[in-house]
Each structure stands twice: as structure tokens, then as C-alpha cells.
A and B are shown apart, each in its own frame.
Chain A
Amino acid sequence: MTKKILVLGTLDTKGQEIDFLRRSIELSGCRATVMDVGILGQPTTEADIAREDVARAAGQTLEQIRALPNRKRIIGAMIQGAIEKAKLLYSSGGFDGVIGIGGGTGMHICTAVMRSLPIGVPKLMVSSMASMDVSEFVGAKDITMMTSVADLASLNIVTSTVLAQAAGAICGMAGASVPSSEPRTAIAMTSFGITTQCADNVGRCLREMGHELVVFHAVGSGGMAMEELTDQGLFAGVLDLTTHEFIDQVAGGHYGGVGDERLETAGRKGIPQVVGPGGLDCVAIFAPEDVPAKFAGRRTYYHDFRVCVRSTAAELAFVAQILADKLNRAVGPVKFLVPLRGWSSASRHCEPLFDPEADRAFVDALKRSLKPDIEIREIDAHIDDLEYAQAAVSNLHQMMTSLSR
């Protein structure tokens, strides 16, 4: 069946480029539906979904939106309308992939629409801004970024090459199939550089049980992606063993950029979860020259170009309180598994961040704050030891099976 591609762009400034893109998509054997998300000038080509319809989906007329007091609110209203339109179209099978083109503002609008769509739907953003820090645009989603190299301000040898390839890419993505295999239960897990061994061990244990493991990189975006996919109901259980993002959030590390939903979705949905203190022993700093003065005198561990600074008892007690507040709200079963011999490869015995006293302060605070029906299990092992992974998997398995009975 012909694949359908939703094309987003501002037809007042990018009419010619959108026309070219539409032709290229059709040459690649797909059908294009163009949504005009422009606001100000006059469209120079025809849209399938006109800007007036986009505005109406936001509950306003285009004139009303144009009359809003500032640029931020004008763009905000148009985004709202475009999201409504896109979601409605998607739910009726109106497209198999989405592509957007634009400069700075265009990228802001198009990626907001893309972020409102589920992970897995092919999304491609072509922009002159797609060569810098894209974290705000990608968020926790799977938005592929293609730099336009030159401005999308006219068709020339550079832009027509980029747009033709972009059309090929999005059509290729929309047509790509994932060969089906026998359905298996999927388990989500958090991990990062210095708890990688734990993820390998868990993967091995789960494979033996016939489950599949999906690992998320606990660096802010990864943790949030796991929450979102958990919310979409993809996972039967969650092993949130690397909660490192919270110490970065509290102490000012690099990977603390998580939203309020972090560590709450599984609980809210009643999905069994085993939680651990992976990586809470260190605050991650991106580069040695960025280590703030307040950390002077603390022990450090060099991961690669990144530095891990030892967390303190006081910081850990505070994090324990945050984790407890979140987990106490869970309606599903939760267990907290503490490995007593270190929470990352930086804090093994003999490694610089080894500090059982600070670790103890965390466990004590956790015991005070967690509600009684959440069990805390102390495992006499390091987080990277097979024993800890086995304990995590068997505890999760137990909760999953008692739930299904």
C-alpha cells in the first residue's frame, strides 16, 4: 500500500521548497499531505491542510492568532492547532511518517508537532539549525535530524540535493518494516556508562526467561524516554536500577534534566518495578574544567573526558527523600534493591568513590521515608555483580507473576 507522508512547513517562506519536497516524495512512490504551519505572509503554494484550518483547530481564526500580543503566543497558538490536526490525522491512519522543513522558528514549530506523536512513527526534521544543540527540539523522542547545510531559502544544487535525499529518507523510513518475531514480554531498564555491566547481566538473566530487555541511557533524555514508553504500555516490568539522574538534579550534575514524571509512570500505571541506587554515588560533570568550586576537596573518578565527583551523605539523604516521595505514590508493587558493595564501577572497593558511610546515610534515610509496604532489600554484592542482577530479575519476576495470578 502507498505510504503517506505528512509534510510540515511554512508556505509563505518555504513554498517553493515544499513543492519540490512534495514532488520528490511522490517520485519516491509515497503520497504527501502538506500542512501549512505558516502564520504571517501569504502562502505561495497550495496546502492540503491550510493554515486557516490549523488555526481553527486551536480554537481561533488566523486573524485572531495574528492579533495576539507577542510572537511567542502567536507561535504557541499555531503549534497547538498543528498538534491537534496532526494527532487527529494520525489516529485515522492519515500518515506513516512526518517530515518538517524550516529555519529556527520552523524547526521550533515542526518539532513540537513531532514530539506530540508516539515514538516509532518516523520523524525527520530538515533545518539549517539541525547541526547544533538539538536537545530541546528532540526531547525524549526519536526525531531524526538532517542539516540543510545551506539555508532553505531557494532551490539550488545544495538545497535540492538535501531535499531530494530527505524525501528518500522519510519514504524509506515509512516503508521500512520490522520483521516480526514471536511476541516476548519486554522489560525496561536504566543504565549508563559506569553501570553497563549490570545491564549486560540483567539482559542475560532475562533472555534465559524468554523476555526481552530495552535499556535506556540514564542521562536525562533516556530516563524520560523510558517514562514515556512505559506510559504507552510497552513494558510488563521496569528495572529502574540506575537512578543517577536524581543526584545530578540535586547536586548540579550534567544529566539532571528530567521532568516530574521521572520514576512515577510505572507506579501510576501499576506496573511492577525494582528500583536501585545505580550511579547515585557520583555527580557527573561534563569536563574537568567545569568542576564547580563547591566540589573542591571531593574525591573524583575520571570516566573518559567526563568526571564523576563523589556525592555526600547529606545529598544522598535528600535524594532518598525525593525517591521515597515518588515511590510512595505508586499503586503497583515496588521493591528497592541496594547493593552493599558499591553502586557503580567508580565506587568498587579500591576505586576512588568507595564510601560505604555515605551510602549508608542513603539507605537509612530511605528506610525512614519509604512507606512500609515497599520492601528494601540489601544485597551483599556490587551492582555489577551477577548476583545483584539475578536478585533484581527474580524480584521483578515474582511481582509480575503474583500480579498476573
Chain B
Amino acid sequence: MSKKIVIVATLDTKSEETRYLRERIEEAGLETVLVDAGVLGEGSFPANIESEQVAQLGGSTLPELRALRDEGKAMDVMARGATAAVQGLYRQGRLDGIVSLGGSMGTSLGTQVMRSLPFGLPKVMVSTMASRDISPWIGHKDIVMVPAVADLSGLNRMTKRTLSNAAGAIAGMVQADDAVGGGERPIIGMGTLGATEACARHARPLLESMGYETIVFHTVGSGGRALEELITEGLTSGVLEISIQEIFGNLLGSPYDAGADRFENAGRMGIPQVVLPGNADFIAWSPPEALPSRYRGRHLHMHNPAIILVRSNAEEMEIIARSLAEKLNKGKGPTAVVVPTEGFSDYSREGMFFYEPETDRVFGDTLREAIDPRIEVIEVPSDINAPACAEAMVEAFRSLNA
């Protein structure tokens, strides 16, 4: 049976482009279901789910929406309606992949619909807004962003190339063979960054030999949020949090913020977790020009042209330790904290530019004072990336499960 691709489009402004996209997808041997979410005018050809139907699913009617004379508000209703329509198609098994196209309004609409669909279902957004900050569009979902180099206004050799590429991408994705397939082993979620990656690497084989499958997230905001979502969906049997840098993002306003409930969901779900103060030795800022003036005169390090690091001081260590303690104290599941005394990342081990063990000590001191006594704090006399630290972490996890 051929796979079905849902196309979400605004036929009042993007008729020609949508028709072209649909033809390319059908040429690749797939069926299409077209959902029209345009509100201002009529499309030049019919959709499978017409805009009037979408407006009604959104709780309104087209004439009502047009009378609003507010495109933003009207698109809001259409996005809700399109989401309901697409959810319906998904439940009926008429959706194997989804593709949409648009400018700023269309991107907002298309990605809102896509964010309502589960991970793993192919999602492709062709957008004139895909070469900037895409985080508002994709959130922590697996939406593929295809930049339309030229405006999606009329068919020409550029827009045809872009639309053909997008058709190829969605067709390729739904037909891709998942050569590995899902396993039956329980999953451990881990969070880390490059500067603490060795810890995750040492831990992985140990966890695998215990029968776990590990899934690692990059703690740059989106990664932390994705990990929290995996935990909330009940997919993980345990969590190893190696990097707590995102707390700075949430409290100090640096860009790597994963939300206020970061490090709280495992406790809420009651699953075992071990937390390490990885990357608490610095505050990452991007781009470097955006570094607030209050950090002037601090010990700085250019990580790469896009990211600058500020060595955290005793005060910030206290802030992050206190915040972590509060978060973990709220939890009801078995929890432990492992504190390496010789460096919280690659950059603060002996001989490296952020080596400052006396500052790091503030973390352990504050944490022990603030944390619920039922949560064990284990000190390890090594840096975080030493095999000994990873072993201690896995051992702590094993005893939480015992």
C-alpha cells in the first residue's frame, strides 16, 4: 500500500507552489492528502480537506474569520483547525508523513500542526524562515527545516528546485528502512555536553552490559527539554544527568535554557536518577557579542567563534547548587548526586584554563547543606571525565535500583 503524505498549505497564497509540490510527491509514488488552511481567498484548485472545514474544526467559519480583519488571529484558529484535521487523519492511519510550505505565517501554522505529532513521524517544513533561529518553530520536535533560498512566490528554477528537494526528502524519509528497529531493552536517558562527553562515553558500555539502552541528549536547552519530555512520556527507566549547565540558562538568562522544570520530571515520575555537576564550572553564552556587560572583567574563554564561556565564580556555584537541591528535594524517586572534586568539565581539570578547585568546592558545600538527607551525595576524587567518575556514577545508579 502506498504511503500517505499530508500537505498543509494555504491555497489562497500558495496554490501554484502547493500544486507543484504535490505533483512531485505523487511522482515519487506516494499518495497525498491536502489540507487547505488559507483564510483570505480561494485556492485555484480543491483540497481534500477544504479551508471551510478547517475553520469549523478550529471553532469558527471562514466568513467570521475574514470579518476579523486580523490575519494573526485568523491564522491561530486555522492552525487549531488544521491540527485537529491532521490528528484525525493520523488516527485513521491516513498519515505517514507531513510536509508544509510557507513564509512566516505559513511556517508558524505548519510547524504548530507538526509539533502535535509524535517523534519519528517524518515532518518537513519548507520555509523562508529556516535560515535563522528555528527554535520557535521546531521546539524539541524532529521537524526538518528546508530553507527556501528564494521566496516561495511563484514557480521559477529556484523555487522548483527547493520544492523538488523537499518532495524528495519527505518521500525518502517515509520510505526509509529503519535498519535497526526498536529494542526491548529498558532505556536510560543521559544529558551531557562536549566538555563532559567522556563521562557518558565511559558509562555507556557499563550500562549496556547491565542490559540498558542509552539515549544521550545534548544539554543546550532543546536537548534538555527533549529529555524531560522522554521522561514525562514514561519512556525512560532511569536518568543520568551529567550536565547541569541549563540551570544557568534558566536562572541567569544565558541562551541554553531548558525551562523551569528541568531536572524535576524524573523526581516527579519517581524513576531513579543520578546527577553530576557537569559544566557548572562555566556559563556558556552565544553569540559572544551578546555577553552582558556584567561579565566584563571575568575569566572568559572563547570556545569557538559562536560561543564564549564565563568561568563561574563562588556565588554562581552557590546559586546552581541551591537550585539543584531544591529541584531534587521535590522529587519522590530514588536520587543520588555524584560530585567529582577535580573538575566539573574538561576545562576545569588540573592544568586547564578553568582549573579552580576552591570555587568548585562551594558547590559540594552548598549542596550538602541544602539537600534532603535522603539524597546521598557521593564525592569522587577525580575529574568528571575520568573513568573512575563514570564508574562511581553507574555504581550509584545500580544501588538506587537495588
Contact (Cβ within 8 A) B173 A221: no
Q: Which 9 A-B pairs have the closest CB atoms?
A: A172-B172, A168-B176, A176-B168, A168-B172, A172-B168, A128-B218, A151-B216, A133-B133, A138-B131
Nearest CB of chain A from residue B41's CB, rounded to whole Å: 13
Whether A64 is near chain B, meaning CB under 8 Å from some CB there, is: no
Complex Cα gap A332–B162 (Å): 30
Query: 5 A-B contacts, Cβ less than 8 Å apart?
Result: A28-B177, A178-B160, A212-B154, A222-B151, A229-B158
Identity of the chain A residue whose Cβ is nearest the Cβ of B126 in the assembled complex: A144
Q: Does A23 interact with chain B (Cβ within 8 Å)?
A: yes
From A20, A144, A229, give the contact of B180 (CB < 8 A): A20
Closest B residue to A142 by CB, please name it: B149
Bound-state CA distance A143–B165 (Å) is 11
Q: Encode A168-184 as 1/0 by CB contact (under 8 A) with B.
A: 11111111111000000
Q: From the candidates A160, A173, A215, name the one contacting B153 in the complex (CB within 8 A).
A: A215
Q: Count A-B pairs with CB separation below 8 Å.
A: 263
Contact A134 B197 (CB under 8 A): no
In the complex with contacts A23-B179, A24-B179, A136-B306 CB distance below 8 A:
yes
Give the distance in Å from the alpha carbon of A278 to the alpha carbon of B265 in the complex: 51
Per-residue CB proximity of A186-218 to B under 8 Å, as 1/0?
100001000010011001000000001111110
- Say how far A205's CB is from chain B's closest CB, in angstroms: 13
Closest residue of A by beta carbon distance from B153: A215
Contact call B194/A103, Cβ cutoff below 8 A: yes
Chain A positions within 8 Å of B306 at CB level: 108, 136
A172/B171 in contact, CB under 8 A: yes
Given A134-B134, A168-B173, answer yes or no on A154-B204 (Cβ-Cβ < 8 Å).
yes
Cross-chain contact A153 with B201 (CB below 8 angstroms): yes
A293 at the B interface (CB under 8 A) = no
Which one of A20, A147, A170 contacts B138 once the chains associate, using CB atoms below 8 Å? A147
**B207, closest chain A residue (CB):** A154
Residue in A closest to B152 when the chains form the complex, CB atoms: A215
Interfacial chain B residues near A159, Cβ < 8 Å: 215
B188-241 residues with Cβ-Cβ distance < 8 A to A are 192, 194, 197, 200-201, 204, 213-218, 220-223, 226
Determine whether A139 belongs to the interface, using a CB cutoff of 8 Å to chain B: yes
Closest to A226 in B: B150
Q: Which residues of B contact A234 (CB under 8 A)?
A: 157
Q: Is A288 an interface residue (CB 8 A)?
A: no
Q: Give the complex CA separation of A174 and B175 in angstroms.
A: 15
B positions within 8 Å CB-CB of A = 24, 28, 71-72, 103-104, 119-120, 122, 124, 128, 130-135, 138-147, 149-151, 153-162, 164-165, 167-183, 187, 192, 194, 197, 200-201, 204, 213-218, 220-223, 226, 255, 286-287, 302, 304-307
Residues of chain A within 8 A of B176, CB atoms compared: 24, 27-28, 164-165, 167-169
**Additional 16 contacts, C-beta under 8 A, given A171-B168, A217-B151:** A105-B194, A119-B149, A128-B223, A131-B134, A142-B149, A147-B138, A147-B141, A149-B140, A154-B214, A157-B182, A168-B173, A168-B175, A169-B168, A172-B168, A212-B154, A214-B150
Whether the pair A155, B180 counts as a contact (CB closer than 8 A) is: yes
> Is residue A135 contacting chain B, with contact meaning CB distance below 8 A?
yes
B381: min CB distance to chain A, Å: 26
For B144, the closest partner residue in chain A by CB is A146
**A158–B164 CA distance with the chains assembled, in angstroms:** 27
Minimum Cβ distance to chain A for residue B358 (Å): 27
The interface of chain A, by Cβ under 8 A from chain B, is: 13, 20, 23-24, 27-28, 71-72, 75, 103-105, 108, 119-120, 122, 124, 128-136, 138-147, 149-151, 153-162, 164-165, 167-178, 186, 191, 196, 199-200, 203, 212-217, 221-222, 225, 229, 234, 304
Residue numbers in B under 8 Å from A129 (CB-CB):
218, 220
Q: Which residues of chain B have C-beta atoms less than 8 A from A149's C-beta? A: 119, 140-142, 217, 226
Give the contacting residue for A147; candidates B143, B146, B147, B204; CB below 8 A.
Answer: B143
Contact present for B304 and A75 (CB under 8 Å):
yes
A234 to B160, CA, bound (A): 14
> Quick check: B149 and A135 within 8 Å, CB to CB?
no
Question: Contacts of A150 on B, CB cut-off 8 Å?
Answer: 215-217, 223, 226
Chain B residue contacts of A105, Cβ below 8 A: 194, 304
CB distance from A307 to the nearest CB of B (A): 15
Contact B131 A186 (CB under 8 A): no
Interface-central residue, A13, A146, A213, by most chain B CB under 10 Å: A146
CA distance A128 to B222 in the complex (A): 8
CB of B172 within 8 A of CB of A169, answer yes
Is the pair B170, A172 in contact by a Cβ cutoff of 8 Å? yes
Known A103-B218, A150-B216, A154-B214: A142·B147 in contact at CB below 8 Å: yes
Q: Which of B151, B158, B173, B287 contacts A191 (CB 8 A)?
A: B151
| Residues of chain A contacted by B305 (CB below 8 angstroms) | 72
Q: In the complex, A213 Cα to B140 Cα: how many Å?
A: 36
